[in-house]
Structure 1
Amino acid sequence: AGPRAHPERRRRHASLAVQADDGQWFLINATPDIADQIEATPQLHPGPAARRTPVRGLILTDAELDHTLGLARLREADRVDVLATAPVRTALCERLRLADILGPYTALTWRELGQDPVPLADTGTGIEISALPVSAKRPRYAADPPPAGADDPTWVVALRLHDPATGGTAVYAPCLGTWPPGLDAALAGADCVLLDGTFWDDDEPLRSGFSTRSATAMGHLPIDGPHGTARRLAPLNARCLYTHLNNTNPLTDPGAPQHGHLAAQGLAVAAEGMEIAL
């Protein structure tokens, strides 16, 4: 029995809202639930002037549909800044033609998302962001024929968010099919880590009957098991939270014993609507 049988367990698609500076917010990934997510967050409500929104733009960790379809819901904004890596922008503009489709409605401005930290806010102050290459996993709509840069490891990235004023740092990695070089160093310097918790164990997709591939083959390292991510997170001093849970993951049930297993290692699941201060 999953979220459909227990609607109280339903979790929206994984996303973060980041306050870049006073009155400026950026959303990490534009999910199909973006309208509900904005409505549930008063700080993101539009107004008071017409066509005004505190949502200044979007940061994309990859080009998957679950993380980009919400772009269309922002078409009534005067302007939307999109921070994305080169292959992600190419996929969205050339394969999905999002720039052509949304052009008559709003001005999409693209900024390169790279490994060097850059301020999110127009003022050049506040939260800084940088990307850590994770993998060359492409979305299915961009898989055949292979586009230029098919082996580019910036198809999927993790994000490092740093507040120079407080020194606080968070790492957001909602999709991990492998453990990339440099991630250990990034996590060691973080105060908060939000990591891919799509599947509890590697056989979950097979056992649940919705796939013939393992979790790892689907591009998501499992939480538990000899190659699971929990054993990597447990030694960290950071606050470690799992996000991006699939509806087959037992952690969607607040009473599941797997929560106790995580708690014993100092780990937990990110809650809907939780606030994190850096």
Structure 2
Amino acid sequence: MKIRFLGTAAGGGAPQWNCGCRVCEAARDADVSRTQDGLAVSGDGDAWYLVNASPDLRTQLLANPELRPPAGTRDVPIRGVLFTSAELDHTLGLLGVREAAELDIYATAWVHEALTTAFPLQAVLSGYTRVRRHAVRDGEPVELAGGLRVTATVLSAKQPRYASALAAGDSVCAYRFDADGRSFVYAPGLAAWSPEFEKMIAGADVVALDGTFFTEDEMGATRPASSMGHLAARDQLPLIEAHPGPWYLFTHLNNTNPLVLPDAPELADVTAAGAAVAADGLLLEL
């Protein structure tokens, strides 16, 4: 199994274009740039699946040779897209690949509804390409091309702002990918380290965790991380130590998170807990 980290920042990227916070200024000075979070996963190195589609998707696809079509063709190796949520930074990039011959979209029923009603992304795409919707259900494995199996675990009912009028549902999930006896878990929207999540990561080789915020009060007392559906990275460190086995990587870093920077003092705490921070372009081969 191969996993390519296309981007590792939360919505807006890091540094964020309209932010002059300490971390963004330091990132500019150090020429650090992280694009918005997303993955490409393959069970055999030939058939690839995107996990989320950020507004940076075109740039990310061009930067990774394994995702390009062979010379003289339009036969891209991308077989589908899986959404962990309906957030704009996870879905807007799909508009940029409307030239695809067809698009297989995997998501929970709630996410499909949001992308059909509140934000009619799938209706827009249907005017350009053939769209096939596949509903993923909590705990039910789905077989994908290339010997890849994916299983979703619902994490929370956090809704995007644009979809706040919809009834609450399974709006955020994590995915576990299995192939040839190896496992990878992707959880960029982890609201709580629940018993269900512990079951999901049991026996996994690599777990990509929610690194949106380093501390609960990073955005100020009026906007705690938990109110936005994210478990702060610092609060995950003792949980990581209590659950050894997988290699833990933080991704989906907000522009305010000091872990964006390669020389952040906070990295020492992450390393001491047995974890690390993912980088744009990181390729894992399991």
- Per the normalisation by structure 2, the TM-score is 0.87
Deviations 1:149-171 (A, max 9, x none): x332x2100111111x2x11111
1:119 has 2:143 as partner: yes
- Indicate the residue corresponding to 1:232 in structure 2: 239
* 2:118 maps to amino acid: R
* SS of aligned partner of 1:48: coil
Shift of 1:118: 1.7
**CA distance in structure 2 between the aligned counterparts of 1:200 and 1:264, rounded to whole angstroms:** 15
Aligned partner of 1:232: which letter?
Answer: L
Question: What is the one-letter code of the residue matched to 1:217?
Answer: S
User: Whole-Å Cα distance in 2 between the matches of residues 238 and 50 of structure 1?
Assistant: 39
The alpha-carbon deviation at position 6 of structure 1 amounts to 2.9
Which residue number in structure 2 is paired with residue 245 of structure 1?
A: 253
Q: Does 1:170 align with 2:170?
A: no
Q: Mark the runs of 5 or more structure 1 residues left unpaired by the alignment.
A: none
8 Å CA contact 2:101, 2:129 repeated in 1: yes
1:75, 1:102 within 8 Å by CA — same for their partners in 2? Answer: yes
**Among candidates 181, 191, 196, match of residue 205 of structure 2:** 191
Maintained 8 Å contact 2:104/2:132:
yes
Give runs of aligned pairs for residues 137-156 of structure 1, distance below 5 A. 137-144=158-165, 147=166, 150-152=167-169, 154-156=170-172
Aligned length: 261
Q: Distance in 2 between matches of 1:5 and 1:250?
A: 9
Shift of 1:50: 4.2
Matched residues, percent identical? 42
SS across alignment from 2:254: coil
Which letter maps to 2:236? Answer: T
Shift of 1:19: 1.2
Deviations 1:137-186 (A, max 9, x none): 11111102xx2xx332x2100111111x2x11111100012233411122
Per-residue CA deviation, residues 67-120 of structure 1 (Å, 9 max, x unaligned), is 000110110010011111100001001111112211121111111112221221
In structure 1, what is the equivalent of residue 265 of structure 2? 257
Specify whether residues 161 and 33 from structure 1 end up closer, same or farther in structure 2 by C-alpha distance, changes over 3 A only.
same
Matching of residue 273 in structure 1 with residue 281 in structure 2: yes
Partner of 2:4: none
| Aligned counterparts of 1:49 and 1:131: Cα–Cα separation in 2 | 37
* CA-CA distance at 1:276 after TM superposition: 1.3
Higher relative contact order (CA 8 A, sep 6+): 2
Match of 2:15 in 1: none
Alignment CA distance shift 1:51-1:105 (3 Å): farther
Please, which runs of 5 or more residues in structure 2 have no aligned partner?
1-21
Runs of 4+ that moved beyond 4 A:
none
Tell me the equivalent position of 2:59.
Answer: 36
TM-score by length of 1: 0.89
